[in-house]
Amino acid sequence: MTLKEHKKHIDLKRPSLGNYSWNEYAFVGAPCTVIKFLSDQVINALSPGYKCGYADTTHNDDMTSLPGRLSNGATIEYTDQVNYRQLNYKSAFNAFKLKEIFTDCDLVLVNGNHQQAKNQVVIISESKKASLQKRLDQLTNVKMLLLADGTNEVFSFIKEAIPNWHQLPLYRMGDTGNIIAYFKKELQQATPVLNGLVLAGGKSERMGFDKGAVNWHGKEQRYHMTDLLKSFCNDVFISCRQDQQQEMNPGYLSMTDTFTGLGPYGAILSAFREKPDNAWLVVACDLPLLSVNTLQHLVANRNTSSVATTYRSPHDNFPEPLITIWEPKSYPVLLSFLAQGYSCPRKVLINSEITLLNAPEPGELTNVNTPDELGKVKRLLHQKIAAE
């Protein structure tokens, strides 16, 4: 092996984050007060349905002393302000820390006079014309142009720097209705693709035989569940162990765990490791009563702003983790819990901002883990078929 052939680190698929999150926009070309005001308007309009963030730099150059306990040597200070929480850090934030903090946001707006983002909104303002001309190298992916008061035409140097400028939305700064509508449309179009994951990699020790191979509906349960999910998902994968993969029907997609020894938790993490920008509708294979209607209700009420959308368990009222839509923003959350020694997906749901639904037919969430439960569910299925 030559030096060129040697790879020190494994290739990992990275989420398509910018400097802060998936959807981020820097306002460039206007005074800071104008950018702050416009950001406030957009955030105020969108925050009821989306988690919004804002990034800027303070102008208080005369404030050189550290606040609170930081001035006494503390590196971090947390204060519960009742209506909000405040964290003061002494150490600098690098790109990785910023992503960690903002990744939960659906939209991040940025003061482009001080910070950068992967998307830009260019404000055409005579008062900042010279400053804007110096920032042309920041205009890497301009999404919208705004004309400030007293400006009627896009600057010639902007036309040269952005060849497709005439194809971009162009509004006046005061046209907040269209500006807000633009961001709302962008967020709607940025809804993560939904894939399906059927959990069939368990050893079924309590049952005594493979639960995924039980024929409840004319085919093995793992394939029946996969077929149920297909009408709601882009792709559906059967999560299985390495030693199971050879026995899988080649007509179905399968995925083996790369986070091994963690049960369903490892299967979910393995799916995100493969496709970190996708959402995952995760369903256990041992739910023989589950119907299209229950899945339809879950998908129809999906909240992409939440970490996950799930059902309330009819047995204990806690979230049911194994019939859940996990959004891409849940990936770092799952990893964080794992780093703290937890591998229970239910614990993640209980301690995260989720959308919790009541199942239209709670009995359909019944799972089968033992021969006794299998017998009971068989009788329920026979009664259901006889009643149809």
Look at residue 26 in the predicted model and tell me its pLDDT. Answer: 98
Question: Quick one: tokens of 232?
Answer: 């709601």
Q: Which of 66-80, 159-173, 223-237, 242-256 has the lowest mean pLDDT?
A: 242-256
Question: Which CATH architecture describes the domain 24-58+69-189?
Answer: 3-Layer(aba) Sandwich (3.40)
Give the β-pairing of 279-284 and 194-199: parallel
- Domain boundaries of the chain, sorted by first residue: 24-58+69-189, 194-387
Look at residue 369 in the predicted model and tell me its pLDDT. Answer: 65
pTM of the shown model: 0.91
Q: What is the DSSP string of 205-219?
A: TTTSS-GGG-BSSSS
36-54 confidence digits (pLDDT tens): 999 999 999 999 999 999 9
pLDDT band at 9 (very low <50, low <70, confident <90, very high): confident
pLDDT band at 375 (very low <50, low <70, confident <90, very high): low
Mean pLDDT computed over 354-362: 96
pLDDT band at 124 (very low <50, low <70, confident <90, very high): very high
Look at residue 247 in the predicted model and tell me its pLDDT. Answer: 84
Distance CA 101, CA 93 (A): 10
Question: Quick one: tokens of 40?
Answer: 């406030």
The per-residue pLDDT of the chain, averaged, comes to: 90
Q: Are 116 and 139 in contact (CB under 8 A)?
A: no
Q: Residue 37 phi/psi, 5° resolution?
A: -65, -45
Four-residue CA torsion sign, 340, 346, 350, 356:
positive
Look at residue 208 in the predicted model and tell me its pLDDT. Answer: 43
Mean pLDDT computed over 302-322: 95
Mean pLDDT computed over 343-351: 97
Q: Is pLDDT of 241 > 70?
A: yes
Task: Give the 3-state secondary structure of 20-84.
Answer: CCCCEEEEECCCHHHHHHHHHHHHHHHCCCCCEEEECCCCCCCCCCCCHHHHHCCCEEEEECCCC
Mean pLDDT computed over 256-274: 94
Please report the beta strands in 103-246, taking only residues with DSSP state E, as ranges in sequence order: 107-111, 119-124, 142-147, 170-172, 194-199, 236-240
CB neighbour list of residue 298: distance below 8 Å, 6 or more residues apart: 281, 309, 310, 311, 323, 325, 357
Look at residue 242 in the predicted model and tell me its pLDDT. Answer: 83
Cα-trace Rg, the chain: 25
Question: Quick one: tokens of 7?
Answer: 């790879």
Give the β-pairing of 308-312 and 319-326: antiparallel
Q: Are 288 and 344 in contact (CB under 8 A)?
A: no
- Residue 352, Cα to own-chain centre: how many angstroms? 13
Mean pLDDT computed over 248-265: 92
77-110 confidence digits (pLDDT tens): 999 998 999 999 999 999 999 999 999 999 999 9
Bigger pLDDT: 82 or 146?
146
Distance CA 334, CA 90 (A): 27
Distance spanning both ends of the chain, measured CA to CA: 66
Q: Are 26 and 120 in contact (CB under 8 A)?
A: yes
CB neighbour list of residue 12: distance below 8 Å, 6 or more residues apart: 273
Question: Quick one: tokens of 349?
Answer: 């749901």
The CA-CA-CA angle for residues 25, 27, 31, to 5°, reads: 160
Look at residue 205 in the predicted model and tell me its pLDDT. Answer: 47
pLDDT band at 291 (very low <50, low <70, confident <90, very high): very high
Cβ-in-10-Å burial (0-12, 13-18, 19+) of 168 comes to middle
13-40 confidence digits (pLDDT tens): 999 999 999 999 999 999 999 999 999 9
Distance CA 54, CA 247 (A): 50
Four-residue CA torsion sign, 109, 113, 117, 122:
positive
Look at residue 383 in the predicted model and tell me its pLDDT. Answer: 61
* CATH fold of the domain at 194-387: Spore Coat Polysaccharide Biosynthesis Protein SpsA; Chain A (3.90.550)
